[in-house]
Structures are given as C-alpha cells and as structure tokens.
Amino acid sequence: MPASLTTGPTLNTPERQDESATPPAAILCMLLVYVCFTFLDTSSKYLVVAGVAPLIVAWVRFAVHVLVIGAFLRGWRQPVRFRPANLPAQLLRGMFLFGSTIFNILALRTLQLAETTSIYFFGPMVITALAGPLLGEWAGWRRWLAILAGFVGVLIITRPGVGVFGIGHVFALCSMLSNCFYVIMTRRMSASETPESLILFSAVAPTVLLLPFLPFSLSLPHDGWHWLVLVMLGFFGALGHWFVVQAYRMATTTALAPFPYSQMVWMIIAGWLVFSQLPDGWTLVGAAVIVASGLYIVHREHRLRLRSRAAADAEAEALAKKL
C-alpha cells in the first residue's frame, strides 16, 4: 500500500487547478489505484501465509515494478527525465518506501487486511504533525485535535493492555511511520526532482541495495501458482502508481484526498473472499474515527488554502490599483 498518499504533491501539472472540479475520470483512476493496492496487499498476505519469505516478496515486488515502469515510460528514449538531482536522498527515500512495504508484509502475517489498512490511515495525521518541525508547515489547534482523535482510533483498534496489541500491530505502526517519512521526503524533493525519477528510484533503491541479502532468504514459492502471484505483485504496484499519475494530472491533491479511504471497502471484501476474515466491531469503530479525523484534516487544509489564496489575490489587486 505504500506511496498511495505520496505522489499527488509532485504531479499536479497545472499550477492553479479548480479544486472544486474533480473529473469523473480522475475519480475512476483513484478508485482503480486502491483496487490495485488491495490486490498487492492481499497477494502479499497470501504468499507469506503460504511460507514465502517476506524479503523475497518485497524484493520481487520492487524488481518487477522497476521493469514495468521502465518499459512503460520508455526510459531509454529520454533518460534525462530519470536522472536524479540528489542520489543519496533518492536512495534514502526508496529505503523508507521499502521499510513501509516490508513492515506491512510482516504485519499481514498476523493481522487482517482491514486492521493494517486502518492503522495505515493514521499516516496523514502523523504527516500533519511532522510537517511542522520538518517542513515548517505547522498545524493549528483544530488539526491537532483531529490528530489526537485519530490516535484514539488507533488505540481502539490495537487496544493495548487488554491482550489484543501484538507484534503485528508494531509492524503495522512501523510501516505507517516509514511511509510518513517517505511522504515528507517526497514533498521536500518534488521541487528539484522530476516525477519520473521519483517514481523509478523509489523502486530502484530497494531493488539494488537489498540484492546481496536475498541468498539469506531461502523460503521461495513452492509451485508455479505462487511464482505467478509473486510476479504479479510488481505489476499491481506499477499499475497502481500509473493510475496515481493519471489521477493527479486531472485533479488536485485536495480534491482527491478522500478517495484513499475507499480502500477499506476493498480490503474488507478481499479479506472475506480470500481469507474468510471479517473485522470485528472495535476495528470498524476505530477505522471510522481515523477516517473521520483524516477527512476533517483534508477539509481544514482545503479551507486554509482557499483563505490564503483569497488573501494573496486581494493583496495583488490592491497593489495593482496603486500601480
């Protein structure tokens, strides 16, 4: 599920899109993004439950992603588009994405799909909190209340102290935190790096850096069916990223921000169809609290952005009259 919330800030080509207009094609692309990411998580859980090493699952997911993205974007025609301006930062960003992926796979060994997704949804609130000290984008007291409400939602799902909180929840929280740092680095680097390099190097970094560790992960797929599922991981990941690019070319980040929460529906359906699992009432209540908190933050940031834009326009108009 990594990167589902990361690409938007880097791919809005028009500088001032109408945030009230969300083309149906953009909505469809966003829904397809999270169908792809649901397939990605469901296949990952299926493989690790079958005994495939999590490192193998994660590495193949990124290796196939590199091949698909390179072929689809035809990187050999204009290689300058993929040239990194800051290679160490690109590698670090890629490792944060890998951390998000591997921790998520480890969490899926013991948690339901809906549980990991619910905890993952707390990520935007953590990003809002970290954006102050790391990016200088400080949140007001209303957004801090929403962050605290989201944290309460996480506590409802994990219920520490009552025998529910386990190692799977720790891995899910680590996955969410890794993705938060990945998002923050994406925001910082979007001004100096091309979108193509950000998409490609997020998969190249873990593919190359983790290659020496593969011989120590000996739990490979057992048959042709498991190998097919393993290879399809990279396809689902690459296709999901491609739909993200298309969506953010047609609409703004704010306009599309609510749609990641649609993944909860797909995760519940996939968990029931593939693993005969349904989330309990506490998980659904906690997820509802987290989603409501996240949507409030989206709404609040949208209001603040419109207010700031209106103030800037008024100032420009007053200056024009003076001139």
Q: What would the pLDDT profile of 255-284 be if each residue is shown by its tens digit?
A: 777 778 888 889 999 999 998 888 888 888
Note whether residue 2 is domain-resident.
no
Residue 126 lies in domain? 8-12+21-322
Cβ(126)–Cβ(174) under 8 Å? no
Higher-confidence residue of 228 and 221: namely 228
Instruction: Report if residue 84 sits inside a domain.
Output: yes
Answer whether residue 3 is part of any domain. Answer: no
3-state secondary structure 268-312: HHHHHHHHCCCCCHHHHHHHHHHHHHHHHHHHHHHHHHHHHHHHH
Which whole number is the average pLDDT over 116-139? Answer: 80
- 229-246 confidence digits (pLDDT tens): 998 888 888 788 778 777
In a domain, 173, yes or no: yes
Structure confidence by residue, pLDDT tens digits, 79-104: 777 788 888 998 899 889 899 999 99
Q: Is residue 230 part of a domain?
A: yes
- Is residue 75 included in any domain, yes or no? yes
Name, in order, each residue with C-beta under 8 angstroms of 303's C-beta and a sequence gap of 6 or more.
none
Average pLDDT of 167-182?
91
User: Is residue 1 in some structural domain?
Assistant: no
Whether 15 shows a pLDDT value over 60: the answer reads: no
CB atoms within 10 A of CB 160: 11
Indicate the number of domains in the chain: 1
| pLDDT over 70, % of the chain | 82
Judge whether 119 lies within some domain: yes
Q: Would you say 79 and 248 are in contact if contact means Cβ atoms under 8 Å apart?
A: no
Q: Determine the Cα–Cα distance for residues 297 and 179; give it in Å rounded to an integer.
A: 18
